[in-house]
Amino acid sequence: MGKNIAIKVENLSKAYQLGQIGTGTISRDLERFWTTKIRGKEDPFLKIGQTNDRTVKGESDIVWSLQDINFEIEQGDAVGIIGRNGAGKSTLLKLLSRVTAPTTGNIKVKGRIASLLEVGTGFHPELTGRENIYLNGAILGMRKKEITRKFDEIVAFSGVERYIDTPVKRYSSGMYVRLAFAVAAHLESEILIVDEVLAVGDAEFQKKCLGKMGEVSKGEGRTVLFVSHNMGAIKELCSNSILLENGLISEIGSTRKIIDSYLTQNNLGLKNLEYLKLDKKVRRGNGEIQFSKITINNGEEFQEPNKKTIIKIQLKKFKEIDQIYFCLQIKNVEGNLVLLDTNLLEVNIANFTNQNLLNFQLQIDANFFRTGIFPMYLWVGKKGGLLGDNYSYDIIDSLMHLNFVSDLGINELGYDFQDPNSYLNLNIKLDYHE
C-alpha cells in the first residue's frame, strides 16, 4: 500500500499588495487588464516577486507571503506549523481553510476540512447558548440534525448547562470560549485546522482542549494541522512539523528536530553559552565585565519546575570592580517579559578566589512554570542599573532559554497577563560561588 495522502500542496504561492489599496486602483486595474487580458502578457504587478522579509525595504509593492510551498500530509498525521510572526503561517491556514484564494499553485484535499481560525465565529450576543450552538455549528459546516445528535455532548463538554438558554452576551468570557470550543471540537471532519485558539480560557479548560485534540488525531485517526507559538503544546500534540521562514518552507521533519531548528534560528536554543565575542548586535553594555559561560542545570534539555533550576554563570572581568549587580528576567517566546526579578541581586565579588573568571551559581525556585520555552534576559551592571547602557556591563537577551516540562496547563503562570505591573517575583538566590 502506498501512502495515504490527505493534503497535497503544490507550488503554492500567495502575493499581497502592500500600501494603500483604493487610490489609483482603477487606473492600475485598467493597466493590469490591458496587459494580461488584451495583450496576453504576464501580470506586471506580480512579476517583481520578493520574499517576505519585513526588515528589508522592498522595491515593489507586491510581497509574497508564501512562495512555492510544496508538502504532503498523510492521513491521521498531526502536523505542527512553526515560524516567527510573519513567516506565513496564518496565510497558509487561510488558504487551506478557503478564506482567501492562492495566487498560484493548488491544494488538493481528501475529506472534509474544518478550520478553527478563531473560536466562536459568528456567535451572536443576543442569541442564547443553545441557538448559538446551532448557528456556529452550521457556520462550521455541520448539518442541523448532526448538531442535534451531538447537542448533549457539546453542552456537557462546555460545562455551561445552567446557562444554555441565556443569551451569550451575559456569559463570562471564559464560558463563551468554552462553549465555542465545544462546538468546534465536535465537528465531524476528516481534517482539522487549528490556529492558536488555545491561548484563551483557563488552564483546566486548555488542558481539556489539548486532550481533545490529541484524542481527535491519535484516537480517531483524523488529520490535524496546528499552528502555535507554544512549543510545549506543539511537542505534545504533533509528531511532525513544518518550519516556515519568510514565506518559504525552511524545514520539514520530526517536531523535536524542527523545534530545535526554530529555536536556533531565533537564537533561543543555546544550552551552554560559551564565551561570546562582544558582538554589538546581540550584546549591549560597556564590556567591563562580560558573561563568558552560562550553563542551565548542567546542560539538560528540559527543566522540571518542581526541582530547583540551577544556572551556573561565569563572568570575565576586564576592569577592577568590587561590586556587581545582577538581574535575570524571563520572557515568553513572543519576546514579552513575563517574570521579573524586581530587586537587583547584589554580588560582592571582592572576596571571590578567582578574580579573573568569576564563577557563581543562581538558583531559581520555579514551581509555577508551565510547559514551554522561556527565553532569558541576563543583565550584569552597576547600581542604578537597567536604565541604560552606561550602567550595564553586559546584557544577554534571549540567547538562552529555559525549557520547562510541567504538569501545569498551558499559559498558567499565576499572574495577570493584562496587568504589566503584576510580574511575579522570581525568587533568585545566589547559592554558591568560588
Partner 1 sequence: MNLENNKEEHWDLVIEGKTSLFDLKFADIWRYRDLLLMFVKRDFVSFYKQTILGPLWFFIQPIFTTIVFTFVFGNLARISTDGLPQYLFYLAGITAWNYFSDCLTKTSTVFKDNANIFGKVYFPRLIMPLSIVVSNLVRFGVQLVLFVAMMVYFGFQGANFHVTWAIALFPVLVLLMALMGLGLGLIITAMTTKYRDLSFLVTFGVQLLMYGTTVIYPLSAAPERYRKLIELNPMTGIIEAFRYAFLGKGYFTAWSLGYSAIFTAVITMIGIIIFNKTERSFVDTI
Which of 115, 230, 246, 292 is close enough to bind partner 1 by CB under 8 A?
A: 115
Residue 409: partners with Cβ closer than 8 Å, 6 or more residues away: 202, 203, 204, 206, 207, 370
Q: Are 147 and 138 in contact (CB under 8 A)?
A: yes
Output phi, psi for 346, to 5 deg.
-90, 130
87 vs 197, which CB is nearer to partner 1?
197
Which of 30, 99, 156, 350 is close enough to bind partner 1 by CB under 8 A?
A: 99
- Which one of 119-127, 265-273, 334-342, 390-398 is the stretch in contact with partner 1 (CB under 8 A)? 119-127
CA distance 314 to 431: 14
Q: Measured from the CB of residue 235, what is the shortest distance to partner 1 in angstroms?
A: 27
Pairing assessment for the beta strands 323-331 and 345-348 based on DSSP bridges: antiparallel
| Three-state secondary structure call for residue 206 | helix
140 vs 238, which CB is nearer to partner 1?
140
Q: Does 126 bind partner 1 (CB under 8 A)?
A: yes
Site string for partner 1, 161-200 (x = CB under 8 A): ------x---------------------------------
Q: Does 112 bind partner 1 (CB under 8 A)?
A: yes
Q: Measured from the CB of residue 36, what is the shortest distance to partner 1 in angstroms?
A: 12
CA distance 105 to 249: 15
CA distance 386 to 367: 27
54 vs 143, which CB is nearer to partner 1?
143
- Which one of 101-109, 274-282, 360-368, 408-416 is the stretch in contact with partner 1 (CB under 8 A)? 101-109
14 vs 382, which CB is nearer to partner 1?
14
Q: Measured from the CB of residue 7, what is the shortest distance to partner 1 in angstroms?
A: 10
Which of 50, 67, 103, 403 is close enough to bind partner 1 by CB under 8 A?
A: 103
DSSP secondary structure string, 155-194? HHHHT-GGGTTSBGGGS-HHHHHHHHHHHHHT---SEEEE
Task: State CA 380 to chain mean position distance.
Answer: 29
16 vs 368, which CB is nearer to partner 1?
16
- Which one of 127-135, 215-223, 301-309, 413-421 is the stretch in contact with partner 1 (CB under 8 A)? 127-135
Q: Are 360 and 433 in contact (CB under 8 A)?
A: yes
CA distance 153 to 137: 13
- Which one of 117-125, 247-255, 256-264, 273-281 is the stretch in contact with partner 1 (CB under 8 A)? 117-125
Q: Does 25 bind partner 1 (CB under 8 A)?
A: yes
In this structure, what C-alpha cell is assigned to residue 85?
A: 510572526
# residues contacting partner 1 (CB under 8 A): 50
Site string for partner 1, 46-85 (x = CB under 8 A): ----------------------------------------
26 vs 38, which CB is nearer to partner 1?
26
Q: What is the 3-state secondary structure (H, E, C) of 291-308?
A: EEEEEEHHHCCCECCCCC
Q: Measured from the CB of residue 122, what is the shortest distance to partner 1 in angstroms?
A: 5
Q: How far is CA 105 from CA 9, 79, 115, 245, 247, in A?
A: 8, 21, 20, 19, 14
Q: Measured from the CB of residue 63, what is the shortest distance to partner 1 in angstroms?
A: 12
Q: Does 272 bind partner 1 (CB under 8 A)?
A: no
Q: Does 117 bind partner 1 (CB under 8 A)?
A: yes
Q: Are 358 and 365 in contact (CB under 8 A)?
A: no
111 vs 384, which CB is nearer to partner 1?
111
Q: Are 288 and 393 in contact (CB under 8 A)?
A: yes
Q: How far is CA 189 from CA 147, 156, 317, 321, in A?
A: 13, 20, 62, 66
CA distance 63 to 92: 15
Q: Does 1 bind partner 1 (CB under 8 A)?
A: yes
Q: Is the dihedral of CA 29, 34, 38, 44 positive or negative?
A: negative
Site string for partner 1, 128-147 (x = CB under 8 A): ---x--xx--xxxxxxx---
Q: Measured from the CB of residue 159, what is the shortest distance to partner 1 in angstroms?
A: 24
Q: How far is CA 327 from CA 124, 349, 368, in A?
A: 48, 15, 19
133 vs 378, which CB is nearer to partner 1?
133
Binding site for partner 1 (CB under 8 A): 1-2, 5, 8, 16-17, 21-22, 25-26, 29, 94-113, 115, 117-118, 121-122, 124, 126-127, 131, 134-135, 138-144, 167
